[in-house]
Amino acid sequence: MNSIYQAKRYRITDVVEQTGDNIMLRIKTRLNPKPGEFVEVSIPGIGEAPISSASYNNKVLDLNIRIVGNVTEAISKLKKGDKIHLRGPYGKGYPIDELKGKNLILIAGGCGLAPLRGIIEYIDQHRLDYREIYLFFGFRSPDDVLFKDEIREWEKVYHMNLSVDEAMGENPFNCPVGFVTGILEKAELPVNNTEVLMCGPHVMMEKSIRILENKGFHDNQIWVSFERHMKCTTGKCGHCMINGMYVCIDGPVFRYDEVKGVDE
Ligand SMILES: Cc1cc2nc3c(=O)[nH]c(=O)nc-3n(C[C@H](O)[C@H](O)[C@H](O)COP(=O)(O)OP(=O)(O)OC[C@H]3O[C@@H](n4cnc5c(N)ncnc54)[C@H](O)[C@@H]3O)c2cc1C
Ligand code: FES
């Protein structure tokens, strides 16, 4: 019997080095998590890590992995054709169906872009269901920009706002230098009939929320994604708990008014 709690083996069909410390794995599977959901990726004998889906289709699953420790380091050594274990998908993602008919503002910092790439793939496939799409993506430097090819495509069809914190050498996107929140502050955005979806470092999300509030957005128009250490991913072990909520089953995506003020 198929169970989302049981890890199964899948074949890696591609490994793309994105930046010095990020790789993207393409895995042949029909799992197709919804935007914002995640899978547990494991290597027997080493461990497992929750990783967000960075795609939306039922042929392959793209996972962007930032190499930070044991498990992610081991995953980064895998090659095209190798097998990897996945279980899931888990969690509650962005309520993409409920957002039909709205303008969407997507805000990401660094590898927070990974789950938002899944949403953009979803929007591409259901373009007529949504109104204007505004993208605000910030990276540390031009070398750290993820999904470069996709960004070049997105800027043709969506309102793209890209920034890098610093550009010591070349700046191939010719984008503004500074925090993405600086661009957000200056942007003219529709407030009515608009929802905001964000993922990235806590400080970036907090600053973005203050800016949006000053522009007149309400907390119930904003959706945030949380990262927590996880073990069971099924609401049993309590590892991921924040203020009575389990990030693994009640999140990782929450409407901001429901989590405002929780200890991050
Ligand atoms: C729902 C969810 C989705 C995620 N999606 C992605 C993704 O798409 N791409 C990606 O690269 N990473 C993602 N992560 C983070 C990823 O799971 C961790 O980086 C990974 O588990 C680290 O494992 P490790 O053994 O390599 O490092 P470890 O040795 O376990 O940790 C290395 C460092 O990272 C910190 N760390 C580890 N896990 C977390 C965490 N969950 N929250 C905060 N700090 C942590 C540790 O404290 C330590 O400082 C996600 C996490 C969650 C909870
Ligand atoms: S990871 Fe065990 S309760 Fe969420």
Domain ranges of the chain: 8-90, 103-225
pLDDT band at 52 (very low <50, low <70, confident <90, very high): very high
- Cβ of 66 closer than 6 Å to ligand 1, yes or no, is yes
* Sign of the CA dihedral running 180, 116, 126, 193: negative
| Residue 220 DSSP code | G
Q: Are 169 and 107 in contact (CB under 8 A)?
A: no
* Close Cβ partners of 45 (under 8 Å, ≥ 6 residues apart): none
Q: Are 222 and 194 in contact (CB under 8 A)?
A: no
Q: What b/e sequence results for 101-134 when a residue is b if at least 16 CB atoms lie within 10 Å of its CB, and e otherwise?
A: ebbbbbbbbbbbbbbbbbbbbbbeeeeeebeebb
Strand partners, 31: none
- Cβ of 251 closer than 6 Å to ligand 1, yes or no, is no
- Tell whether the model's pLDDT for residue 3 goes beyond 80: no
Mean pLDDT to the nearest integer, 37-54: 95
Q: Which ligand is nearest to the CA of 246?
A: 2
- Cα separation values, 223 from 48, 49, 205, 242, Å: 27, 23, 10, 16
Q: Are 158 and 134 in contact (CB under 8 A)?
A: yes
Q: Which ligand is nearest to the CA of 50?
A: 1
Say yes or no: do domains 8-90 and 103-225 share a fold.
no
Sheet holding 83-90, edge to edge: 47-52, 38-43, 83-90, 8-19, 22-28, 60-66
Q: Which ligand is nearest to the CA of 229?
A: 1
Q: What distance in Å separates the CA atoms of residue 253 and residue 86, rounded to the nearest whole number?
A: 21
Q: What angle do CA 253, 37, 81 make, to 5 degrees?
A: 150
Q: What distance in Å separates the CA atoms of residue 219 and residue 257, rounded to the nearest whole number?
A: 5
Lowest mean pLDDT among 3-7, 210-214, 230-234: 3-7
* Digit-coded pLDDT (tens) for 138-175: 999 999 999 999 999 999 999 999 999 988 878 888 88
Q: How far is the CA of 15 from the centre of ligand 2 (A)?
A: 29
Measuring CA to CA, which residue among 145, 169, 167, 161 is closest to residue 18?
145
- Cβ of 161 closer than 6 Å to ligand 1, yes or no, is no
pLDDT band at 87 (very low <50, low <70, confident <90, very high): very high
Q: What distance in Å separates the CA atoms of residue 24 and residue 33, rounded to the nearest whole number?
A: 16
pLDDT number for residue 168: 81
CATH code, residues 103-225: 3.40.50.80
pLDDT number for residue 103: 98
CATH code, residues 8-90: 2.40.30.10
* Digit-coded pLDDT (tens) for 96-142: 989 999 999 999 999 999 999 999 999 999 999 999 999 999 999 99
pLDDT number for residue 2: 60
Q: What distance in Å separates the CA atoms of residue 100 and residue 104, rounded to the nearest whole number?
A: 9
Q: How far is the CA of 17 from the centre of ligand 1 (A)?
A: 18
Q: What is the mean pLDDT of the chain?
A: 93
- Cβ of 64 closer than 6 Å to ligand 1, yes or no, is yes
- Cβ of 225 closer than 6 Å to ligand 1, yes or no, is no
Q: Are 84 and 7 in contact (CB under 8 A)?
A: no
